[in-house]
Structure 1
Amino acid sequence: MADIPRPAPVSFSEFEPVSTAAWQERIRRDLKGASAESLVWTPADGFAVQPFYHHEALAALGALPTPQVRPQPATAGWLNVPTYAVGASSMGHAAIDRAAAALERGADGAHFDLTDAASFDVAYLHRRLPLATSYVGYSLRIGAASFVQRLLTAEPAGLRGFLRFDPITDHAPDLPGQLADLRTVLGLTRRFRDFRALTLNGAFFANRGGTVTQQLGFTLATAATYLSELPDETLTAAEVAAAVQIQVGLNPTYFLEIAKLRALRQLWATLLHAYELPAGAATDLRIFAGTSTWSKTTLDPHTNLLRVTTETMAAVLGGADAVSVAAFDSLYHDPNEFSDRLARNLPVILREEVQLHRVADPAAGSYYLETLTDQLARDAWSLLQDIETLGGLPAAVGFVLQELQKVAQQQFQHIADGTQVVVGTNRFQDPHEQFDYNPKKLLRSRDFDSTRATYPSEVLRLATALHFQRREKKRKRAAVVLLGTHTNQLILESFMQLLPKDERQTFNISHPEGTLSLLFSTPEGAMLMYATPDQFGHFARVVCRVRQDDAGFVPPYLLNADLATMQEAVALFGFKEFTVEGYSTDDVLARLQGR
């Protein structure tokens, strides 16, 4: 990009230059004999992050990096775009009203995540938010062409915002039909430069625990598929690329997240070059960054406010064009004005008070961040090549899901053994925490997000809290709570962390591989058990009085029945108690609950 000026050297003559060797000597002195290698950090991506970077780091990149310059949105810096979930069979009036109110109180747009796009009241939306001038995004899984046609019928003059319709990432049925639908959408909206009709769901990978490298590589592989499959006699690859926006999810790993967004822009330019598209088109990429669900907790939930602050700062410093901040209590509360306002005001404060929009690329030239950006871009491109070797997407979707599952299990393990700290959940817990929700209702809810990093820890804590409530009330009822697969191992790791160091030893845990973990709670006591998936499925049908041949039945997480029925069913199906060598179930539960 010849029109972008090269960075001029900056000199501070009043300071003496300090060599790398001098810095390293100072580090050794401050460590008082400890090795500097002890400060090396290895994130889940697998590469080593050094504790110290100097100007040699930029030289190792091959050339001085160029600051990333991108077109500015209508609002200086970035757009503040809250997300509103609209459930099945809902016309969305309540969500539309919330969005209209938010636009009067600091928001720049609205994003509607639609479960049932056919039921969404487009006419009401247009009355409340004029579609030609309001920045509005829509996420849906099916029916994209008919939905966009309804939008254009309501407002023939045009649309401003985006559509997230990504049948590859969202595993929509009938992919050829969905791609044909997408071509129709791109044809209908190609003349609206302020509407991005091909927003990719890169947040899917962040919300399932993917490493930063995986998020970049898998999203890039999705983009490559669309660039290959969508063009036809009516649609060019350049038109497909011009319609692209990428939605990313952000986690609290601050510097990695900044580097992720910067690497994404570099990778997009490289991908367009591979498709022989003009390099200048890469500057048109828009990034829509949202706080992720993966890192959020229901325990000590106000810590989520700190997490979303870190994530949002990473988004704007990394160069996002629009941000969406989730309410801190969205995991367990219905929408409310208090938490909505906190979430909405966070990007406003970063722009109006912190003034983070004053610099186009704040990370440019940082030895550390430029190195991270380059490392992530290289590793993600290598991962893209691996996926292409497997046939690209969707052929390699099994590989993608397997890799995500592997990394997620590692993080579950690290949270259980304390290697990965989650404040308020596995470290610095509040032993007297009073839940601002009904644990029983939350465990029963199908909307309780089970794809988060802290889910196994939370379910055990909520389930044991229910047990103690039941014991205090002395009700002659019992409950079985499904804790999930592999949870007994996580319980063991968590239990180990709570023992005094001189009591820690190698324990045996009695449960076969691949079984489900359960908590059996009665007014008199609680017992941790395990069962095979088939055992639990039959058991749930008995307790819920559902026919055994009902294939559509999905067992709930929480099963309640009178004590006699539950004891008889547990005995009938032969569930086994899980024991830790030297400690009973009651010992384990008492320690985990802080008693």
Structure 2
Amino acid sequence: MEDRPLAELFEPATRKRWRQAVEAALKGGDFEKRLVSKTADGLRIEPLYEPAASVAQPVRAPGPWRLAQRIDHPDAEKAGAQSLSDLEGGADALVLVGRDAPAARGFGLDLSAVDTLDAALKGVMLPLIALRLDAGPAGFEAAALLKQLVERRGDDPATLDLNLGLDPLGAYAAIGRLEQGWEARLSETVTAFAGYRGRVALADARPYHEAGASEVQELAAVLATAVAYLRALEAGGHDLERARDAISVLLVADADEFLTIAKFRAIRRLWARVEQACGLESTPLRVLAETAWRMMTRRDPFVNILRTTMASASAGLGGADSITALPYTQALGLPDAFARRVVRNSQIVLIEESNLARVSDPAAGAGGFEALTAELTEKAWAAFQEIEREGGIAKSLESRALAGRIAAVEQARAKAVATRKEPLTGASEFPFLAEKPVAVLEVAPSQAARSDAGLPSLRLAEPYEALRDASDAILERTGKRPTVFLANLGPVAVHNARSTFAANAFAAGGIEAIGNDGFTDTQALIEAFKASGARLACLCSSDAIYQSEAVPAAEALKAAGAGTIYLAGKPAEAEALRQAGVHGFLFAGCDLLGLLREAAEQAQG
């Protein structure tokens, strides 16, 4: 009997054989349209990659990433309680958020007195943790106060892991106002913190990401900002090595694990190019991460737990040194202790139980990640050079050139959200109109620090949430939501797919669907419609039934007083349906947001 390994009994797996199997499965379908996707930057995401050749990849210093939590309660004593609770619960890094910071979301501490910092860090042993300031335009003042606090406590500066988070150019991007003389103040602060361990300047990607920037644009803006700080410090008399060691970057991690991992790997390659151009020996760049504000939703906020966990895992796998994950209720208000615990525990599981931090670069050699990393690096370098040709990041922001490019990407993404090409679970997909309120702390937010002069801060779900908010207001005022009558034609087996699709689609706009088991008799259909009290109706059935019954059903609904009639599907011949009274068509890929806005108005008469 022949004794051969099982694998040898089959033909070798080749790309050619795989492609033949794919073509057979597609049955004539377009390979490019069906299996190849593209990022906002036009990068191709292939369905299959071969193992990649080994590429030199800068990595973070050995060990797990830091688990950081935001301290943003406006009351300093309560903020201090938050600090201790988070550290006792497993965090090993804190971010003190000032009320003037664009990322404060209407909360944050008043970082104008050293006593406030002292109270917010009461009982915290600074040498045992990492601490970052997020003070926005008040960054220089907050840094000086932190130095006073260290001196008051008598801590050894060399034992402290501090990140002052000074980012005047990031504040300019967010609020549209650039502090005069920031270069000199940055240089003076580096001098003042000589002997301290940590970083002084932070090139922060959040203003760009929140405005809608693509991965390439985010990387380019951060790199251009870091280079601007490098130049400012060199001009201030610091040698390049000291200037380089004073700079860190913060990238945004979102729920797209492939692009997030590749983006975090790419920033290290990009910075290594800068170091090489400066004649410096490469050292690990300090890369911080915060999960994306723009992916957070107010509706079905528990889905945010999945989003932030995926984002945290991706940032960690991509090589982030420290990760700050937003609690799942962040978009609803000031998160309570439970929400903070959930987001903290998610990272603890990733680090301690899943052991994701044990390998320095787990994506190494993986064809997909290596290809994306290489493409992001090259495109981001070209975008960085474009900013440099415009005079640097400050000049590009001043001329609105960068803002214009980001706006173009944001508009394309907004269209994808409106058509559900980019679905948002709980907001545009699988909405639940009867969801219960989620608890947040009873602290009223203050006015945001952003202005129209800066880049906008956007969340993808906001347009759908506005419709849901309006529906809730109507429910509270009248006891009833806007409704749509589902005019289901034929038995359940025939109409169920489209009636379910339609009910979920209308619910995304806060419009409650009135369902039924279907009708074979027009008179019964009309009686049910009149009894529903709805002004909207949506025909739901198969294409075959539409051909014979949709036109008379639409005419009967119109005659019965239906204000607006929709049809679930995309019929090839729509003119006859329109003449019969069908106003719009609901199908995968339609402008759902536009349809819902119109339907919400029509539902109210």
Whether these two folds match at TM > 0.5 is yes
What residue is the counterpart of 1:213 in the other structure? 216
Shift of 1:411: 1.9
Q: Deviations over 1:179-222 (max 9, x none)?
A: 222112211223223x1111221122222221111110111111
From 65, 71, 74, the equivalent of 1:78 is 65
- SS for the counterpart of 1:405 is helix
What residue is the counterpart of 2:56 in the other structure? 66
What residue is the counterpart of 2:553 in the other structure? none
Distance 1:153 1:461 in 2: 48
What residue is the counterpart of 2:321 in the other structure? 321
- SS for the counterpart of 2:393 is coil
What residue is the counterpart of 2:39 in the other structure? 43
The range that moved more, 237-246 or 444-453, is 444-453
What residue is the counterpart of 2:367 in the other structure? 367
Asked whether the 8 Å contact 1:80–1:324 carries over to 2, the reply is yes
Distance 1:580 1:312 in 2: 35
Distance 2:567 2:446 in 1: 32
Q: Classify 1:328/1:190 alpha carbon distance in 2 versus 1 (closer, same or farther; 3 Å).
A: same
What residue is the counterpart of 1:107 in the other structure? 91
Shift of 1:348: 0.5
What residue is the counterpart of 2:185 in the other structure? 181
From 224, 227, 237, the equivalent of 2:227 is 224
From 380, 405, 408, the equivalent of 2:407 is 405
Distance 1:35 1:584 in 2: 35
Distance 1:185 1:443 in 2: 31
Shift of 1:499: 4.6
Q: Which runs of 5+ in 2 are unaligned?
A: 100-109, 451-455, 482-507, 510-535, 541-565, 579-593
Asked whether the 8 Å contact 2:262–2:372 carries over to 1, the reply is yes
What residue is the counterpart of 2:273 in the other structure? 270
The range that moved more, 455-464 or 33-42, is 33-42
The range that moved more, 128-137 or 103-112, is 128-137
Shift of 1:444: 11
Distance 2:206 2:449 in 1: 18
Asked whether the 8 Å contact 1:190–1:243 carries over to 2, the reply is no
What residue is the counterpart of 1:501 in the other structure? 569
Q: Classify 1:20/1:214 alpha carbon distance in 2 versus 1 (closer, same or farther; 3 Å).
A: same
Distance 2:430 2:418 in 1: 14
| Match status 1:377 vs 2:381 | no
Q: Classify 1:46/1:192 alpha carbon distance in 2 versus 1 (closer, same or farther; 3 Å).
A: same
Shift of 1:501: 1.2
Asked whether the 8 Å contact 2:474–2:480 carries over to 1, the reply is no
What residue is the counterpart of 2:111 in the other structure? 117
Asked whether the 8 Å contact 1:145–1:184 carries over to 2, the reply is no
Distance 1:149 1:166 in 2: 15
Distance 1:287 1:169 in 2: 16
What residue is the counterpart of 1:162 in the other structure? 163
Shift of 1:447: 9.4
What residue is the counterpart of 2:583 in the other structure? none
Q: Classify 1:445/1:225 alpha carbon distance in 2 versus 1 (closer, same or farther; 3 Å).
A: closer
Which structure has the bigger radius of gyration?
2
What residue is the counterpart of 1:468 in the other structure? 475
Distance 1:464 1:126 in 2: 43
TM-score, normalised by the number of residues in structure 1: 0.72
What residue is the counterpart of 2:531 in the other structure? none
Q: Classify 1:444/1:454 alpha carbon distance in 2 versus 1 (closer, same or farther; 3 Å).
A: farther
What residue is the counterpart of 1:484 in the other structure? none
Distance 2:237 2:227 in 1: 19
Which residue identity does 2:191 align to in structure 1? G
* Greater fraction of residues in helix: 2
What residue is the counterpart of 1:142 in the other structure? 137
Distance 1:586 1:229 in 2: 54
Distance 1:139 1:366 in 2: 36
Asked whether the 8 Å contact 1:196–1:244 carries over to 2, the reply is yes
Distance 2:211 2:290 in 1: 14
From 66, 87, 98, the equivalent of 2:82 is 98
Give the length in aligned residue pairs.
473
Shift of 1:324: 1.0
Distance 1:589 1:246 in 2: 49
Shift of 1:322: 0.8
What residue is the counterpart of 1:571 in the other structure? none
| Match status 1:308 vs 2:308 | yes
Distance 2:464 2:444 in 1: 14
What residue is the counterpart of 2:533 in the other structure? none
Distance 1:118 1:86 in 2: 15
Asked whether the 8 Å contact 1:443–1:459 carries over to 2, the reply is no
Shift of 1:399: 1.4
Distance 1:133 1:584 in 2: 57
- SS for the counterpart of 1:197 is strand
What residue is the counterpart of 2:24 in the other structure? 29
What residue is the counterpart of 1:545 in the other structure? none
From 243, 246, 251, the equivalent of 2:246 is 243
Q: Classify 1:106/1:127 alpha carbon distance in 2 versus 1 (closer, same or farther; 3 Å).
A: same
Distance 1:584 1:251 in 2: 32
TM-score, normalised by the number of residues in structure 2: 0.71
Shift of 1:267: 0.4
Asked whether the 8 Å contact 2:36–2:44 carries over to 1, the reply is yes
Asked whether the 8 Å contact 1:227–1:240 carries over to 2, the reply is yes
Which residue identity does 2:402 align to in structure 1? V
Q: Deviations over 1:509-561 (max 9, x none)?
A: xxxxxxxxxxxxxxxxxxxxxxxxxxxxxxxxxxxxxxxxxxxxxxxxxxxxx
Shift of 1:150: 2.8
Q: Deviations over 1:26-45 (max 9, x none)?
A: 33334344342221101111
Q: Deviations over 1:372-407 (max 9, x none)?
A: 000000110010111111111201011122222222
What residue is the counterpart of 2:195 in the other structure? 191
Which residue identity does 1:108 align to in structure 2? D
Task: Using the aligned pairs only, state the percent identity.
Answer: 25
Distance 2:137 2:601 in 1: 49
Distance 1:418 1:148 in 2: 44
